Amino acid sequence: MMITSDGLQFHVEDRGEGDVIVLLHGFTGALENWRPFIEKWSDRYRCIAVDLIGHGKSSKPELPACYTMEAMSRYLKDILDQLNVKKANLVGYSMGGRFALSFAVQYPTYVKSLILESSSPGLETAEEREERIMKDRALSKRIDESGIEAFVSFWESLPLFQTQKRLPSSVQREIKDQRLANSKVGLINSLKGMGTGTQPSNWEQLPHLQHPILLLVGEEDKKFIRIANRMAERLPEGIVKKINGAGHTIHVEQPQIFDKMVIGFLEKLSERQN
């Protein structure tokens, strides 16, 4: 279905009944990435997946200001209001995890728990943020000048995604086709608005988040293991789970373990609250 927020159209899938799970994809992704989990979880949970701005079938406006974490948080709050959702468990991968955390900072009463896969609270220092902004500008220029196909080939060659080379060729092709479906304006403006450098740093906000938070990291994703461990030190209710045989994209590389970790976490949370 399409839901309008602030004049923009958002592609949303809403399936099942029960406690709400909101699924938020990563950069170059789409809600389709969550399809296997929606099909499995919707017999017990109400699963709501959203194409973030600039991605999938959602709007891809020309104005970069529409793409900020603050703006996307307003859109998601409005979407949840229209769907009559008062509180949800947010599952976010990479950029979607950074966004889920940003949403929890801005609208904590809407959040029951956070499950953050290969995510961060942003960058701590102004110097780090400026350096990342410069890198994202170069990436935006690459997208603009070379086009989506060349960019996707470059993106898939990054060390961050090398563990995906072990996936069956049919799965790799499916991921590539989904990435190729993106638009230049959507990806460029997502980097400008929701990039790790441009987003507000949430490191100082971590001690104030009272939600149960599960941090999932792949054993081969050393950078994000370090980030997750540092996050857990600051979070009142944060736990880290390291997934064997996985890199950055756990839900693709080890889907059965990802399923077990997410549902196990939610079941324990439900038991604790009953």
CATH code assigned at 219: 3.40.50.1820
Output the pLDDT for position 258. 97
Assess whether pLDDT exceeds 70 at residue 274.
no
* Structural element, H or E, at residue 128: helix 126-146
Q: b/e per residue, 94-114, with b = 16+ CB within 10 A?
A: bbbbbbbbbbbbbeeebbbbb
**CA-closest candidate to residue 217, choices 183, 177, 258:** 258
Angle, helix 184-194 to helix 126-146, in steps of 10 degrees: 180
- As for how many domains the chain has, the answer is 1
Q: Give the domain extent around 236.
A: 2-273
- Tens digits of per-residue pLDDT, 135-169? 989 889 889 888 999 888 888 888 889 899 898 99
- Tens digits of per-residue pLDDT, 158-209? 888 989 989 899 998 999 999 999 999 999 999 999 999 999 999 999 999 9
Rounded Cα distance, 228 and 231, in Å: 5
**Is the separation of the CB atoms in 51 and 30 below 8 Å?**
yes
- Tens digits of per-residue pLDDT, 93-152? 999 999 999 999 999 999 999 999 999 999 988 899 999 999 989 889 889 888 999 888
